[in-house]
Amino acid sequence: MHESGHLAWSEVLFKESSGFERTAVWTLGITFFLIFVGGLVRAAGAGLGCPDWPRCFGLWIPPLTADALPPPYDPAEFNVFKTWLEYVNRLVGVAVGAFILVTFVRSIRFFRRNPPVFAGALAALLLVLFQGWLGGQVVRSGLAGWMITIHMLVAVLILNVLLFTWFMSVRERLTFPLSSPLQRKLLWGVSLLIGVTLFQVVLGSQVREALSHVMATLPELARAEWLSEVGRWDPVHRSFSWLVLGASIYVYRVARTFPLGHALRELAVLNNTAVVLQILLGVGLAYMGLPPALQIFHLVVAAFMTSVQFLALLMVTAAPRGR
């Protein structure tokens, strides 16, 4: 066990890692990429680029022109950019499923000597199968706002279950002794941070659902004016971001007691940076007319923040008690 916690992240992730650990890291990476692609699909309004599921316009590989559509599909519904963007999203989803399956198979050897690794990989596999089914329900619902929100939350859940699986395989290299008072402070602070962040994510999903309603009911309204029709959710969402920032700063102040370069302190710095970036992205969305690019990054950074905070919680929870 590296009690000082001074190992560089590059060493933990790659240099000292086993085959299973490297597989878990690559699975995490492609899952995070899928969240990015999903955000791109939503920002581009391409969720129904393929109107059916699991096929796309009744085909396993969609066409490049409307003339190649099989009956009874209407060529007027075809948009090659949106269709292929959604199709790529599905392909990445299949790749994620394959990576998770490989991770699970490689986790079987941990069944007895490290059961949490096996349990995490199994949970990720079951969740990704559920997510595949849920994706079909989203399409069949005509992109119902609440279904999209659940689909996104399950994606973030899968990401964090994979993170748990990886952490349990490397925890001996990431744990460090903590005094009981310091551990209590960190547990309280990180738990509070995760709580307010998750509530902020829920608020953000309500804003997105309200925006979808505005788009559907007021199609003639300019994009820059959509937020003005959202109602109370937007100002509450904006105001709550300061609570997230306050909780993040508190965790950093506690983590400052560790030496420079300590893994937990680095996570606290990374989270502070992500929170500030989220606030700036929110300002940009509010005052720049909801540019799609900022919507994508706002979503991706939110997913990244939850993972950073969850990893910090895992490290604090697993830490042995020192004096």
**107-136 pLDDT per residue, tens:** 999 999 999 999 999 999 999 999 989 988
Least confident of 123-127, 152-156, 260-264, 282-286: 260-264
What is the pLDDT averaged over residues 77-94? Answer: 92
Residues 6 or more apart whose CB falls under 8 angstroms from that of 87 comprise: 49, 50, 56, 61, 62
- Residue-wise pLDDT for 247-256, tens only, equals 999 999 998 8
145 backbone dihedrals φ, ψ, rounded to 5°: -55, -45
Mean pLDDT value of segment 23-38: 92
Total-model pTM: 0.86
The pLDDT value recorded for residue 126 is: 97
In angstroms, how far apart are the furthest CA atoms of the chain? Answer: 74
- pLDDT value of residue 139: 83
**DSSP symbol at 176:** -
Q: What is the pLDDT of residue 10?
A: 53
Instruction: Please say if the pLDDT value at position 1 is more than 50.
Output: no
* pLDDT exceeds 90 at position 307: yes
- The mean pLDDT of 171-178, rounded to a whole number, is 77
Instruction: Give dist(CA 107, CA 218) in Å, integer.
Output: 51
Contact between 196 and 302 under an 8 Å Cβ cutoff? The reply is no
Q: Which residue has the higher pLDDT, 15 or 71?
A: 71
| Pairs from 264-267 (Cβ < 8 Å, separation ≥ 24) | 264/5, 264/176, 264/186, 264/312, 264/315, 264/316, 266/9, 267/308, 267/311, 267/312, 267/315
Closest CA to 186 of 250, 141, 118, 122: 250
Confidence check: pLDDT of 288 > 70? yes
Q: How confident is the model at residue 229 (pLDDT cuts 50, 70, 90)?
A: confident
